[in-house]
Chains A and B, each alone.
Chain A
Amino acid sequence: MSNNKTTYEAAYAKLRTAYITRLEGNITDLTKWIRDVSATPLSKEELLNMQSLAHGLSGSGTTFGFPNVTDAGRNADIFLEKMIRAIRGDDDFIKGDEHPEMLPLLQSIHDACREAVTNYKEQAALEIIPATHEEKLNFEAKKNLFVLIVDDDINLRNMISMKLEQRGFIAAGAGSDQEMIVSMEKRLPDLIILDLNLPDNSGHEVLRRLKSEPAHAAIPILMLTAAAKEADVVSALHSGASSYIVKPVDINRLSERVEKISANMRRTVLVADNDQLILALLQSKFKGRGFNVVLTNNGLSTFEHAQRVKPDLIILDIAMPGMDGISVLKMIRNDKKTKDIPVIIASAKTTPADIAAGMAAGAQDYVPKPFNADDLVHRSIALLKKEKANDT
């Protein structure tokens, strides 16, 4: 739970930054209205626009930590609703100077937004970016890895859990196939330790089922077998198990093996998108699956990051400031250091011509926006698995 909280707080900070950008946009609208409200008559449409803004702020300000924005928005929302009820038709107008409450109400939302933006920027200036950012990312990624231990022996489960938690993993146990299914609905594990001889369903069957479901097929599985029966081991590896350990379990060897498998999983994804909300969401989703995540919101710096970080995968938006995604992709493909990095384009440009242009520039996949973040992460994992298979 404390780990989820860390992920949550990082993502919340990003969402809050995006909210500040929205408030800055609102300040621009409010400044214009404040200037015009006494001079020009207001149509129903303009009043509805004002009310929509006031209502939105009243419902969101406190959620993002700005209660004054909510209060000012709520007062204006109530007043504007009365004005809209009083207006007689689409052609009717209201004169702002005949309603002396109007100007101060708009002014108070403006001031509350301005105050929120100023406070936020002062706070942000105080935060120091750690020098060892990449190191920190590695540590966080390891902390995030979730290992599920499926064995009917509760003592063994507990012993393995304790050992892995000491080494910085999150571990949970399941005593049966059924318990495993329930646990996986709550949170998908990054690694499964599976006993081959489960009471209610043989381990082989569980293994085959896991490997046949697209959402689970990419999860590495470490098998435990009661004895080194050659046929058992061959069959398990054939069904897709990553590795096996013979019982009675040597707990230190087991934890070394888990470290080794998970080291391969600590891969880096570079996400390039000019939308802060998408960056925050994908960061949280990828981190949840054990990835290191590097973010950028600018086309030009995407290529620089790709060269420097050498990520295992790039998620690339097309419409970005600095340089568009297609040009970035062409640069990536033309550079010796970056040419083999798989790229998934995630874009709101979705005509067949756009998609053809993206694939021609060298993308491995093209995901239309709006996308489901979980699907995108699954596709990424599947793509990385495919790339790895092609390498060897």
Chain B
Amino acid sequence: MTDTAHLSQILYVDDEPDLRMLAQLALESMGGMKVSLCDSGAAALQALATLKPQIILLDVMMPEMDGPALLQEIKKTPGLYNGPIIFLTGKANADEIVHLKSLGAFGVIPKPFNPMTLHNDVKAMWVAFHEQQ
């Protein structure tokens, strides 16, 4: 219960620098959260060795290791991260959402996201995750 009340640590993984900056700005100033940024799957895996985010927001299409590949790496490594993984994708159609959830994603936020409401979307996912637990 205390966990649901306080969402503060986010990890945002995206290869697009503009979107990383904007997502951080939107979530920190509008949502009062602390956002760590990674520009690739490899960087995210490295960061997770020390960071303990409460939610991971993950771009689907990235060069080298894409979002789904990173998710599989995270799930494969016991104790690395057990919280919800939310995908951000430009192809948020029903088939794609089912597919991403079957891989182990908790939810999907469509891209392009709205910076004014992104923090609400993320908070809603956080609450839903705890209701399901």
A residues near B (Cβ < 8 Å) are 4-5, 7-8, 11-12, 15, 18-19, 22, 52, 55-56, 58-64, 70, 74, 77, 182, 185-187, 277, 280-281, 284
A56: which B residues are within 8 A, CB to CB? 16
Which of B23-31, B67-75, B100-108 forms part of the interface with chain A?
B23-31
Q: Are A280 and B16 in contact (CB under 8 A)?
A: no
Q: Are B112 and A61 in contact (CB under 8 A)?
A: yes
* Any A CB within 8 A of the CB of B21: yes
Give chain B nearest CB distance to A251 CB in angstroms. Answer: 29
Cross-chain contact of B29 among A64, A74, A186, A284 (Cβ < 8 A): A284
The answer for the CA separation of A280 and B28 in the assembled complex, in Å, is 14
The answer for the CA separation of A179 and B21 in the assembled complex, in Å, is 31
B residues near A (Cβ < 8 Å) are 6, 8, 16-19, 21-22, 24-26, 28-30, 32, 59, 61, 63, 88, 90, 111-115
Q: Are B61 and A55 in contact (CB under 8 A)?
A: yes
Closest to B8 in A: A185
A281: which B residues are within 8 A, CB to CB? 21, 24-25
Give chain B nearest CB distance to A290 CB in angstroms. Answer: 15
Give chain B nearest CB distance to A379 CB in angstroms. Answer: 18
Give chain A nearest CB distance to B117 CB in angstroms. Answer: 11
Closest to B22 in A: A15
The answer for the CA separation of A55 and B19 in the assembled complex, in Å, is 13
Of A8, A12, A63, A186, which is in contact with the most chain B CB atoms at under 10 Å from its CB?
Answer: A63
What would be 15 A-B contacts, judged by CB atoms less than 8 Å apart? A4-B32, A8-B26, A11-B29, A12-B26, A22-B18, A55-B61, A58-B111, A58-B112, A59-B19, A59-B90, A61-B112, A62-B112, A63-B19, A63-B114, A277-B18
Q: Are A59 and B32 in contact (CB under 8 A)?
A: no
Closest to A8 in B: B29
The answer for the CA separation of A284 and B25 in the assembled complex, in Å, is 8
A187: which B residues are within 8 A, CB to CB? 32
A22: which B residues are within 8 A, CB to CB? 18
Known A63-B22, A77-B90; contact A5-B32, beta-carbon cutoff 8 A: no
Give chain B nearest CB distance to A16 CB in angstroms. Answer: 9
Q: Are B112 and A12 in contact (CB under 8 A)?
A: no
Q: Are A19 and B29 in contact (CB under 8 A)?
A: no
Q: Are B21 and A74 in contact (CB under 8 A)?
A: no
A280: which B residues are within 8 A, CB to CB? 21, 25
B112: which A residues are within 8 A, CB to CB? 58-63, 70
Cross-chain contact of A18 among B18, B61, B111, B115 (Cβ < 8 A): B18
Q: Are A186 and B18 in contact (CB under 8 A)?
A: no
Give chain B nearest CB distance to A288 CB in angstroms. Answer: 8
